[in-house]
């Protein structure tokens, strides 16, 4: 007899099932008649829904002794024409958890009050899951003990419009939901198209058996899968046309792309359980399709009634099972935790599948991840530098910290000592205008005394900064460091006429709330590699490597003249204090400075390309050493040919480049401790390498 069991059923409210009329019973549902009604009184028969679960049957009767709207529980033991054990062979014991899924389009109102009532109702019965309420109806997935679930259904069926709410049942050993949610929505299935109201009109329904007959007969019909691509991936009807969408909101766009000739053909829409087709099919009619059907109950109902004929694969379901086969058995499919894509058993064997991390659909190599991260950084840099932040007038407040050796002196004297390139008269003008503030924020007088550690401020009102080259390129980024290709002219830090138009300001804005910290410096006119630490912790591990001389730095320099030797070293100390333009001089009593040079090429235009390796890290070291050797760098605005000095320190935007480029860097990674090397080519010397790690 397959899944059917036959017994005798004659029911009365609250009474045991007695011998009587012989009826066919299926494990889940049965229909009975009220006691006392004879076979001859067929017109008076009242067939009642009867749900058989383990030792109990549930039905609703007007004569019920229970409160209105509540199911009557009838003992069912012994009412079959065979033993209880025989019945159990067809129907297992009561499951730990009963799961229901149901929807109904109906005009609902008073949703806020209904929401509160249902939350309390479900929590009182230990039910969990989600109920969506909208003016257009209800959609729910709920699980709990059998009695609580049935009581919820009778509670809902008491609402006008939900009298015929019929769920799909399943059982599970464990509760699949973690909490009970009742949510108010604009729609129970998001669509966003006006004029589609399944409560008042929906397209003709096609029964599963009828569809199978059409397909068996080869009737010319178009099957249109309204589900999302990730659902279709697990299986669909043979020769069906997928909508090609990742969300049901995009369904109207998919329909607009269908060929015009489809509008004259019979179209059967289908989805998992039928709810989406309640809107999809009428929309297609509205769009001009003349013969549109919706598969009643969706794929799951088709599986239940006719099996898997004409269907390839399995059906994606929105619960812990992920997928079911045509026998409605759970398959081995899983869902990727990262991207929510359904995965077949074969895909779960793929090396790119790592539970809770990735799958073949979302796996990205480290190189791919970095490429995406770098692209996002470039977009952020473009956003914060267009327009240049320093091009907007602003008040610039520059801190001035008083060193111990100048403490007690008047502020004017301190300023003259700290900023030797600024004339005394200029400082007097700033003081007279109230643009120098003491630690209390008050305007300072020239003779006002200072104290060690105090922070004074210099105000520059309505400041508009010179334009700079903001084409900062990110070459590498990981959890500890950022490696950049710095353009020129671009100062690294706030100084002189530059405050916001600086590399540091750009980085702080683009990486907000992070504040990347450059581990070393390049001149504003020098291009090339800059490495930054992403946190203070990594800065403490990275910056000392530069100060201790542990970092291998290699530059490219194009110089005026041809050095005689192919390789040479300059070991000459450099003054610690700057001249009026911030430049430096060789000074025997200054800081030791040593640089190695190697000639790579001597060009016919009188220039030469040098590979330069500074062994110390003094300000302007490479430029000064080459200048004093008689080979100034091409484009240097300060250290000019014939030993002359320029009148400006920083190039203007659009000026010919100063041909000094930080080409290579090698250091110990602050996170792994391993030596890493970076290299980047230069625009003015095409072919000399490219961005590489």
Give the whole-angstrom CA distance, residue 377 versus residue 132. 40
Q: What is the CA radius of gyration of the chain?
A: 40
**Residue 471 neighbours by CB under 8 Å, 6+ apart:** 487
Give the whole-angstrom CA distance, residue 293 versus residue 291. 7
Instruction: Tally the C-alpha atoms within 13 A of residue 569's C-alpha that lie toward its C-beta.
Output: 7
As given in the structure block, the two tokens for residue 222 are 């178009």
Backbone angles phi and psi of 282, in degrees to 5: -60, -35
Q: Cis peptide leading into 489, omega within 30 of 0?
A: yes
CB 622 within 8 A of CB 557: yes
**Residue 397 neighbours by CB under 8 Å, 6+ apart:** 457, 458, 459, 460
Give the whole-angstrom CA distance, residue 378 versus residue 476. 12
Residue pointed to by tokens 């006392």: 36
Give the whole-angstrom CA distance, residue 176 versus residue 129. 8
Backbone angles phi and psi of 15, in degrees to 5: -100, 160
- Secondary structure (3-state) at 237: strand
Query: CB-based burial of residue 44 (10 Å sphere; 0-12 exposed, 13-18 middle, 19+ buried)?
Result: exposed
Give the whole-angstrom CA distance, residue 98 versus residue 52. 13
Backbone angles phi and psi of 506, in degrees to 5: -60, -45
Q: DSSP label at 179? A: S
As given in the structure block, the two tokens for residue 36 are 């006392």
Q: DSSP label at 641? A: G
Write down how long the chain is.
693
Give the whole-angstrom CA distance, residue 9 versus residue 131. 35
Q: What amino acid positions are annotated as catalytic residues?
A: 271
Q: How many CB atoms lie within 10 A of CB 571?
A: 12
Residue pointed to by tokens 């949510």: 183
Give the whole-angstrom CA distance, residue 535 versus residue 35. 80
Give the whole-angstrom CA distance, residue 476 versus residue 671. 14
Helix, strand, coil fractions of the chain, as percent rounded to 5:
25, 30, 50
Q: What is the DSSP string of 453-508?
A: T-EEEEEEEEE-PPP-----EEEEE-SSEEEEEE-SS--SS-BTTBSSSSHHHHHH
Instruction: Tally the C-alpha atoms within 13 A of residue 14's C-alpha that lie toward its C-beta.
Output: 7
CA distances from 246 to 230, 242, 243, 601 (A): 7, 11, 9, 58
- For the chain, the first-to-last Cα distance in angstroms comes to 72
CB 621 within 8 A of CB 594: no
CB 489 within 8 A of CB 655: yes
As given in the structure block, the two tokens for residue 389 are 């932040």
């Amino acid at each position: 007899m397959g899944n059917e069991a036959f017994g005798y059923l004659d029911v009365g409210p609250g009474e045991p099932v007695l011998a009587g009329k012989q009826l066919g019973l299926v494990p889940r549902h049965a229909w009975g008649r009220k006691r006392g009604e004879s076979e001859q009184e067929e017109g008076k028969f009242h067939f009642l829904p009867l749900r058989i679960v383990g030792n109990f049957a549930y039905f609703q009767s007007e004569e019920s002794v229970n409160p209105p709207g509540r199911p009557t529980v009838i003992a069912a033991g012994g009412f079959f024409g065979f033993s209880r054990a025989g019945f159990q062979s067809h129907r297992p014991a009561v499951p730990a958890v009963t799961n229901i899924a149901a929807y109904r389009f109906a005009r609902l109102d008073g949703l806020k009050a209904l929401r509160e009532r249902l939350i309390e109702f479900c929590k009182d019965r230990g039910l969990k899951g989600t109920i969506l309420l909208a003016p257009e109806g209800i959609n729910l997935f709920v699980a709990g003990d059998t009695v609580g679930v049935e009581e919820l259904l009778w509670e809902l069926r008491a609402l006008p419009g939900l009298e015929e709410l019929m769920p799909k049942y399943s059982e599970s050993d464990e509760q699949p939901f973690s909490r009970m949610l009742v949510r108010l929505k604009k729609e129970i299935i998001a669509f966003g198209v006006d004029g589609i109201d399944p409560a008042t009109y929906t397209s003709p329904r096609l029964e599963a058996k009828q569809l199978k007959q059409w397909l068996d007969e080869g009737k010319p019909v178009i099957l249109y899968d309204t589900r999302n691509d990730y659902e279709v991936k697990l299986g669909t009807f043979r020769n069906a046309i997928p909508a090609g969408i990742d969300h049901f909101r995009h369904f109207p766009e998919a329909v607009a792309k269908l060929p015009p000739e489809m509008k004259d053909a019979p179209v059967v829409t289908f989805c998992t359980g039928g709810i989406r087709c309640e809107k999809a099919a009428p929309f297609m009619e509205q769009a001009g399709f003349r013969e549109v059907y919706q598969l009643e109950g969706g794929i799951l109902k088709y599986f239940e009634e006719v099996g898997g004929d004409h269907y390839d694969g399995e059906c994606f379901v929105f619960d812990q099972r992920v997928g079911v086969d045509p026998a409605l058995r759970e398959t081995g499919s899983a869902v990727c935790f990262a991207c929510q894509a359904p995965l077949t058993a074969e895909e779960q064997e793929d090396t790119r599948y790592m539970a809770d991390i990735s799958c073949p659909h979302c796996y990205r190599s480290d190189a791919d991840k970095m490429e995406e991260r770098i692209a996002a950084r470039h977009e952020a840099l473009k956003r914060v530098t267009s327009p240049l932040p320093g091009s907007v007038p602003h008040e610039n407040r520059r801190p001035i910290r008083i060193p111990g050796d100048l403490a007690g002196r008047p502020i004017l004297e301190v300023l003259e000592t700290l900023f030797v390139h600024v004339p005394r008269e200029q400082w007097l003008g700033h003081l007279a205008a109230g643009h120098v503030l003491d630690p209390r924020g008050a305007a300072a007088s020239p003779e006002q005394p200072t104290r060690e550690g105090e922070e004074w401020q210099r105000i520059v009102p309505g400041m508009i900064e010179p334009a700079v080259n903001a084409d900062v390129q990110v070459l590498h980024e990981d959890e500890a460091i950022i490696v950049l290709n710095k353009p020129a002219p671009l100062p690294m830090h706030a100084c002189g006429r530059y405050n916001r138009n600086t590399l540091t300001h750009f980085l702080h804005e683009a990486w907000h709330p992070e504040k990347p910290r450059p581990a070393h410096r390049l001149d504003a006119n020098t291009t090339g590699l800059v490495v930054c630490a992403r946190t203070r912790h990594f800065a403490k591990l990275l910056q000392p490597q530069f100060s201790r001389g542990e970092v291998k730095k290699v530059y490219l320099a194009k110089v005026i003249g041809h050095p005689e030797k192919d390789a040479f070293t300059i070991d000459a100390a450099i003054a610690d204090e700057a001249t009026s333009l911030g430049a430096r001089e060789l000074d025997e009593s200054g800081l030791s400075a040593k640089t190695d040079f190697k000639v790579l090429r001597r060009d016919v235009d009188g220039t030469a390309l040098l590979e330069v390796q500074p062994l110390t890290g003094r300000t302007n070291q490479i430029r000064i050493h080459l200048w004093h050797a008689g080979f100034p760098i091409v484009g240097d605005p300060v250290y000019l040919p014939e030993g002359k000095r320029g009148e400006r320190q920083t190039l203007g935007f659009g000026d010919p480049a100063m041909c000094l480029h930080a080409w290579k860097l090698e250091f110990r990674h602050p996170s792994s401790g391993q030596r890493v090397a970076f290299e980047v080519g230069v625009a003015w010397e095409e072919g000399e390498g490219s961005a590489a790690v």
